[in-house]
Structures are given as structure tokens and as C-alpha cells.
């Protein structure tokens, strides 16, 4: 991380991250902690979250973890309040948590629909609702919503997930307008084919790697850190006049 940019405005800044125990989320936690931010994160993976906190705390970083299912809105908002009590009101919110389990459109039930929307979209709105008053009181803040190129490139077997991720753009645009006069910036970060361990274990086979790279304009493969470093910029004062936008971190694959 030392080879990349340092953002002085992020030092001591309270940050809340959802889904922070593994994959892109864990990289977000590590990158913000390395900037000197005060990081609070939630995840359902309790053991992984606690391990990450122990590691970063031993390195001298200010990090807290609360096990939480972000589809339980009351519990999630309580966790956000707990982070505020420890670190101060969040000035950065990263709505990263999602679940991209494959599904066939003909098998989706109304309960399935509601559950997938809850884990991929609903929590982002209510987390924003929870942090906005504190950001307003502080004179501003940044919300970063995670989208996906999956709906742009029409990835199969993800219809409800892709609907939710497309809706993230609408959420970003609407909340950027709603909160902008309070100096709260809202943007979307849209990852491409990021090779997390989960993707490699479940979906991406070795023979798929060449095809992924062929679809990209750039050679090589995306890592969680590539997304985390864009999030740092969008959270920092360096991006102070950027809001209501979506930023593709996809090596030049999708047409956003």
C-alpha cells in the first residue's frame, strides 16, 4: 500500500464499511485503516471479522468490528450508532455488502426477490439514512455505493442481483441531490471482474481467466485493492466536487 497515494484528509476520519470481513470489503478496511482512518465494519462472518480486527489492531490501527446481518435494518443501524459512540459520527459510509449467488429467473419466488433486494440494495439506503444527520452536523461527508458491471454486460443467472445493482445507480443519483446542499457527496463505485477468493472458489475457473482478460481493454486482472484505492479517492477531500457519478473499475470492459 505504501506505493500508492496517501490522503491527509482521511486521517482520523470515522468510516463505516459493510461486508468488511473478506474480499473487497476486507481490502477496504485495510486501506482505510492504513490511511489513519477510524474504521468500523460489519459482516455476518464473525470469525473472519474478529481475525481482521486483531491483525489491524496489533499494527496500531483504529478498527472496530460488529457482527451484523445488514438485512436486519434495526441491528445494522444500531451497529452504526455503536461505531459513532466509539469513533465519532461517520463521515464516510461505504455500502459494499452484497451477495451474488446465481439464480434462474423462473425459480425466483416473491420471498427470494425480497431477500436478494434486502442484501444487495435496501441496506444501502437505510445506512445512508443513519449516517446523514451526523455528516450534516459535521459539515459534510461521503457515501460510496457499490454497483456492478454485471447488468451492463448482461451476465447470465443473476437477474435479481443485476436489478438491484442497476438500482444502485438510481439511489446514488437521487441521494446525491437530496444530500448535496449539506455537502454530502454520494457516488457509485462499479467493480468489474475482481478476482476475490470467493469468485475463484465459486464462479471463475482457470480456463475463464483468458476470456475475462480478452473482454477488458487492459491486460491483467482486477484485485480488491484496485477498488479500495478508488474508494479512498472518493472518500477524501480530493474529490470534494464529485457527486452523483458512477466510476467503473473494470479494466475497460463495460460501457457505463
Q: Report yes or no: 86 and 40 within 8 Å, Cβ to Cβ.
A: yes
Long-range contacts of 169-172 (CB under 8 A, 24+ apart): 169/246, 171/121, 171/124, 171/125, 171/145, 172/145, 172/147, 172/244, 172/245, 172/246
**In residues, how long is the chain?**
256
161 is written with which cell numbers? 442481483
Q: What is the DSSP letter of 149?
A: S
Rg (CA), the chain: 17
Which CA distances in Å does 78 have to 69, 81, 82, 84, 126?
11, 5, 6, 10, 11
Question: Which entry of 4, 7, 76, 161 is annotated as an active-site residue?
Answer: 161
Q: In the sheet that 92-95 helps form, which strands lie side by side, from edge to edge? A: 62-67, 38-43, 14-18, 92-95, 141-146, 184-191, 246-249
Q: Report yes or no: 37 and 232 within 8 Å, Cβ to Cβ.
A: no
Q: Is 161 a catalytic residue?
A: yes
Catalytically active residues, by annotation:
161
Amino acid at each position: 500500500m505504501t506505493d500508492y497515494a496517501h490522503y491527509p484528509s482521511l486521517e482520523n476520519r470515522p468510516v463505516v464499511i459493510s461486508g468488511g470481513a473478506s474480499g473487497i470489503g476486507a481490502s477496504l478496511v485495510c486501506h482505510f485503516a492504513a490511511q489513519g482512518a477510524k474504521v468500523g465494519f460489519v459482516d455476518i462472518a464473525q470469525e473472519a471479522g474478529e481475525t481482521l480486527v486483531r491483525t489491524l489492531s496489533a499494527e496500531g490501527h483504529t478498527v472496530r468490528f460488529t457482527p451484523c446481518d445488514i438485512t436486519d435494518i434495526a441491528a445494522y443501524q444500531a451497529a452504526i450508532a455503536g461505531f459513532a459512540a466509539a469513533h465519532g459520527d461517520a463521515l464516510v459510509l461505504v455500502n459494499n455488502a452484497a451477495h451474488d449467488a446465481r439464480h434462474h429467473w423462473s425459480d425466483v419466488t416473491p420471498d427470494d426477490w425480497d431477500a436478494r433486494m434486502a442484501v444487495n440494495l435496501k441496506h444501502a439506503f437505510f445506512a445512508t439514512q443513519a449516517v446523514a444527520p451526523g455528516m450534516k452536523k459535521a459539515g459534510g461527508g461521503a457515501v460510496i455505493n457499490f454497483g456492478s458491471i454485471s447488468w451492463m454486460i448482461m451476465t447470465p443467472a443473476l437477474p435479481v442481483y443485476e436489478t438491484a445493482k442497476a438500482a444502485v445507480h438510481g439511489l446514488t443519483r437521487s441521494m446525491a441531490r437530496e444530500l448535496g446542499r449539506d455537502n454530502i457527496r454520494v457516488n457509485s463505485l462499479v467493480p468489474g471482474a475482481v478476482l476475490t477468493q470467493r469468485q475463484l472458489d465459486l464462479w471463475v475457473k482457470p480456463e475463464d481467466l483468458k476470456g475475462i482478460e480478452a473482454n477488458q481493454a487492459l491486460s491483467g486482472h482486477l484485485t480488491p485493492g484496485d477498488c479500495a484505492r478508488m474508494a479512498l479517492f472518493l472518500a477524501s477531500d480530493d474529490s470534494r466536487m464529485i457527486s452523483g457519478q458512477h466510476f467503473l473499475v473494470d479494466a475497460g470492459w463495460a460501457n457505463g
